[in-house]
Chain A
């Protein structure tokens, strides 16, 4: 025989302040939990979205990022002419040997000392076709042979001189801003793109950093990898583009997740203690009621379940509060340095339904843990004594 849940709801409403304080405490923990994981999610999503699984990125062997990789021109030509590279319109190979430089740029609305490390990517003309997630938002693509740049949408407005028609200065030279581009929220949106042959000489280099191409056979990655890595003329590592950029987010993503879990579990213990206090007080205040329930023939099992449910309901309400508190941060753009590439990337907090569900489950677990011992005491109450 089960005790109706209405009994618990009415009991809770009898002591609204205590219930509300406990629920709010749980809610704050859930809000921090969701907020921190939304940060980690947003950061990783930006990098996961960057690559395509139909593309391949080639780096020098053992280089773990584009920043410290180098692909000599002969190697680049050799790879570009390989049969594994897809052909686009007009038989042009869909390959982009790229320069990857990091330049210090001032931020808007901050003191002069604070420079951001921004990625300048020197691309080939084919890059726009190799990467399917790029859309031109305004203006026209940079023309070959000219000092023209296209600015990622997350940089526009955050850095000075990024509006169309303005000139931006880096690498000891002026560049005309001719377009803005979006890239589906990926980390490309925090980059400046220009023609590779314009970027390299400015930084006194003759070596590309990486080479990205579309695979002729999207399912043939293993074969492409084997063919290029076994080629004795070049010493390269071959990555699937999607996996490569995802791996660039692993270090910081893991740190953020570990931090989130560490901080929220310590907070959760505090909130559980709060729930324990509340539930013990509830049990002792309702001792005669519980005795009556037991006398009426409700088995101790039901009493235990009833008090556990009560605690879980309070925590569930807390979970909902937490979701409401955390929801407004969804979409807020923030930025940090991705230490794996040593450049700044901007990304949005991402509060997903799954994350909110996890938050509510986390809350209910806190409630059940906090309610267990008080509920057990209620169930084990000696009836005669309690009725007196």
Chain B
């Protein structure tokens, strides 16, 4: 690439313009990567779910509970290996400004159901033994500066009163789609303090063969169909996917904004390239005179545009990747595992190339088609 110094020299002529244009591209790429990562993270959450786990909740919606006595009957259904249940608690900590999910679980069976939640053996044992113990996600340690052994008080919203729990364990999810932004405590405590009503919010079943998911789900729903609390059962993945759809048109919104950002920056880059080309009319004529072919000048102009957009893209995409990794961003648990994916990076790179073509085409054609004699006439 013997013309590389020439390219650099051209870019260096208007250093300020080159740098500002690169930075514009970098900012656009950063935004693009951020917006798209929201979409991919939601998609991933929607696709998460152990293939062998089913979720069963009341057919009348999540505000209606199921009797805890269903546990034994569910366990007896052929194909069901394990059963656990949980209840949304929705307590508020402090002023409630920092939201985090908190729910009551049947501790022993819940931890057995979710091997993706890794808890040190001694902490797990301590949590299981202490009926007013709590298990928290690793992130909450940082957010609130909590430590193991500390008492924390949640203010019940759905379950009245103050609930003081002792942090006995910290879990780290091994799958990024599981939030590390949650607190769990013993369902038994919840049930006792709310008057032994025996309410289970939802059941999670582990089945022996993922291929039987539909059959087992139907068997569960059939079993309780004519009871006073019918169920609706589906795969864990479908359950999570329905949460992802609750955001509504967020993907459309993010993609539209992303397009607008990319297009706005295309205008900035194209403008800069055109200004450079116009200023260099006589220079291009000179190059042609000394033997540069039209094709070569076309390619050189394109490459100049490419250097700007690709450098900008590398800066912007790289910054997004590193920043979200380093800051461990997760939007208060709404977007667990927020990480710029390889597909986003590749798409960003492709956009940089499109930007190069779109912003370079006019100046490049102009350079290639420049009539030498006329252009040289204007040399100062």
Kindly state the separation between the CA atoms of A17 and B273 in the bound complex, as whole angstroms: 12
Is the beta-carbon distance between A64 and B157 smaller than 8 angstroms? yes
Contacts of A281 in B (CB 8 A): 17, 275, 279
Is the beta-carbon distance between B267 and A274 smaller than 8 angstroms? yes
Is the beta-carbon distance between B271 and A267 smaller than 8 angstroms? no
Q: Does B4 contact A (CB under 8 A)?
A: no
- Report the nearest B residue to A67, measured CB to CB: B63
Q: Does B68 contact A (CB under 8 A)?
A: no
Q: Does B158 contact A (CB under 8 A)?
A: yes
A337-B246, A337-B247 are contacts. A278–B158 as well, Cβ < 8 Å? no
A-B residue pairs, 7 tightest by C-beta: A68-B158, A274-B268, A336-B248, A28-B264, A337-B246, A270-B24, A273-B20
- Report the nearest B residue to A209, measured CB to CB: B63
A35 to chain B, nearest CB (A): 8
Is the beta-carbon distance between A62 and B16 smaller than 8 angstroms? no
Contacts of A60 in B (CB 8 A): 160
Kindly state the separation between the CA atoms of A297 and B340 in the bound complex, as whole angstroms: 57
Stretch at the interface among A101-109, A135-143, A145-153: A101-109
Kindly state the separation between the CA atoms of A17 and B278 in the bound complex, as whole angstroms: 12
- Report the nearest A residue to B25, measured CB to CB: A270
Q: Does B30 contact A (CB under 8 A)?
A: yes
Stretch at the interface among A50-58, A111-119, A215-223: A111-119
A32-B261, A104-B61, A235-B160 are contacts. A64–B96 as well, Cβ < 8 Å? yes
Q: With A35-B257, A263-B35, A271-B264 given, name 4 new contacts (CB 8 A).
A: A18-B274, A62-B156, A117-B61, A273-B24
A32-B260, A277-B272, A344-B246 are contacts. A263–B31 as well, Cβ < 8 Å? yes
**From B17, B238, B249, B264, contact of A267 by CB (8 A):** B264
Kindly state the separation between the CA atoms of A128 and B249 in the bound complex, as whole angstroms: 33
A267-B27, A277-B272 are contacts. A22–B60 as well, Cβ < 8 Å? no
Is the beta-carbon distance between A270 and B264 smaller than 8 angstroms? yes
Q: Does B210 contact A (CB under 8 A)?
A: no
Q: Does B286 contact A (CB under 8 A)?
A: no
Q: Does B23 contact A (CB under 8 A)?
A: yes
B250 to chain A, nearest CB (A): 7
B118 to chain A, nearest CB (A): 28
Q: Does A61 contact B (CB under 8 A)?
A: yes
Kindly state the separation between the CA atoms of A281 and B280 in the bound complex, as whole angstroms: 13
Kindly state the separation between the CA atoms of A29 and B264 in the bound complex, as whole angstroms: 7
Q: Does B292 contact A (CB under 8 A)?
A: no
Contacts of A204 in B (CB 8 A): 64, 228-229
Contacts of B28 in A (CB 8 A): 267, 270
- Report the nearest A residue to B232, measured CB to CB: A104
Is the beta-carbon distance between A336 and B30 smaller than 8 angstroms? no
Q: Residue-by-residue, is A9-44 near B (CB-CB < 8 Å gives 1, otherwise 0)? A: 000000001100110110011011001100100000
Kindly state the separation between the CA atoms of A337 and B16 in the bound complex, as whole angstroms: 46
Is the beta-carbon distance between A103 and B60 smaller than 8 angstroms? yes
Q: Does B270 contact A (CB under 8 A)?
A: yes
Contacts of A22 in B (CB 8 A): 267-268, 271
Q: Residue-by-residue, is B10-48 near A (CB-CB < 8 Å gives 1, otherwise 0)? A: 000000110011011001101100010000000000000
Is the beta-carbon distance between A269 and B268 smaller than 8 angstroms? no
Q: Does A65 contact B (CB under 8 A)?
A: yes
Q: Does A172 contact B (CB under 8 A)?
A: yes
Is the beta-carbon distance between A278 and B271 smaller than 8 angstroms? yes
Is the beta-carbon distance between B63 and A276 smaller than 8 angstroms? no
Is the beta-carbon distance between A270 and B260 smaller than 8 angstroms? no
Chain B contributes a number of interface residues (CB within 8 A of A) equal to: 54
Contacts of A82 in B (CB 8 A): none
Q: Chain B interface mostly helix, strand, loop or mixed?
A: helix
Is the beta-carbon distance between A36 and B257 smaller than 8 angstroms? yes
Q: Does B92 contact A (CB under 8 A)?
A: yes
Kindly state the separation between the CA atoms of A276 and B241 in the bound complex, as whole angstroms: 46
Q: Does A171 contact B (CB under 8 A)?
A: yes
Q: Residue-by-residue, is B71-103 near A (CB-CB < 8 Å gives 1, otherwise 0)? A: 000000000000000000010100010010000
A280 to chain B, nearest CB (A): 7
Is the beta-carbon distance between A28 and B268 smaller than 8 angstroms? no
**Which residues 43-97 of A sit at the B interface, judged by CB distance below 8 A?**
60-65, 67-68
A29-B264, A270-B265 are contacts. A117–B246 as well, Cβ < 8 Å? yes
Kindly state the separation between the CA atoms of A117 and B30 in the bound complex, as whole angstroms: 34
Q: Does A335 contact B (CB under 8 A)?
A: yes
Kindly state the separation between the CA atoms of A378 and B279 in the bound complex, as whole angstroms: 18
Kindly state the separation between the CA atoms of A173 and B90 in the bound complex, as whole angstroms: 29
Contacts of A36 in B (CB 8 A): 257
Q: Does B328 contact A (CB under 8 A)?
A: no
Is the beta-carbon distance between B268 and A271 smaller than 8 angstroms? yes
Kindly state the separation between the CA atoms of A14 and B185 in the bound complex, as whole angstroms: 71
Contacts of A24 in B (CB 8 A): 264, 267
The 14 sampled A-B contact pairs (Cβ below 8 Å) are A65-B157, A101-B60, A115-B245, A116-B246, A171-B60, A172-B230, A204-B64, A251-B99, A267-B28, A267-B260, A270-B24, A273-B23, A336-B248, A342-B62
**From A68, A103, A104, A277, contact of B268 by CB (8 A):** A277
Kindly state the separation between the CA atoms of A317 and B99 in the bound complex, as whole angstroms: 43
Is the beta-carbon distance between B21 and A102 smaller than 8 angstroms? no
A67-B63, A277-B268 are contacts. A114–B245 as well, Cβ < 8 Å? yes
**Which residues 289-326 of A sit at the B interface, judged by CB distance below 8 A?**
none
Kindly state the separation between the CA atoms of A60 and B21 in the bound complex, as whole angstroms: 57
B32 to chain A, nearest CB (A): 11
Contacts of A263 in B (CB 8 A): 31, 35, 257, 261
A102-B62, A171-B60, A274-B271 are contacts. A336–B247 as well, Cβ < 8 Å? yes
Q: Residue-by-residue, is B228-242 near A (CB-CB < 8 Å gives 1, otherwise 0)? A: 111010000010011
Q: Does B263 contact A (CB under 8 A)?
A: yes
A68-B157, A277-B20 are contacts. A270–B242 as well, Cβ < 8 Å? no
Is the beta-carbon distance between A63 and B61 smaller than 8 angstroms? no
- Report the nearest A residue to B263, measured CB to CB: A28
Contacts of A6 in B (CB 8 A): none
Kindly state the separation between the CA atoms of A263 and B230 in the bound complex, as whole angstroms: 46
Contacts of B247 in A (CB 8 A): 336-337
Contacts of B249 in A (CB 8 A): 334-336
Kindly state the separation between the CA atoms of A24 and B270 in the bound complex, as whole angstroms: 12
Kindly state the separation between the CA atoms of A25 and B265 in the bound complex, as whole angstroms: 7
**From A203, A280, A342, contact of B60 by CB (8 A):** A203
Contacts of B265 in A (CB 8 A): 25, 270
A101-B63, A266-B27, A270-B265 are contacts. A21–B248 as well, Cβ < 8 Å? no
**Which residues 174-217 of A sit at the B interface, judged by CB distance below 8 A?**
202-204
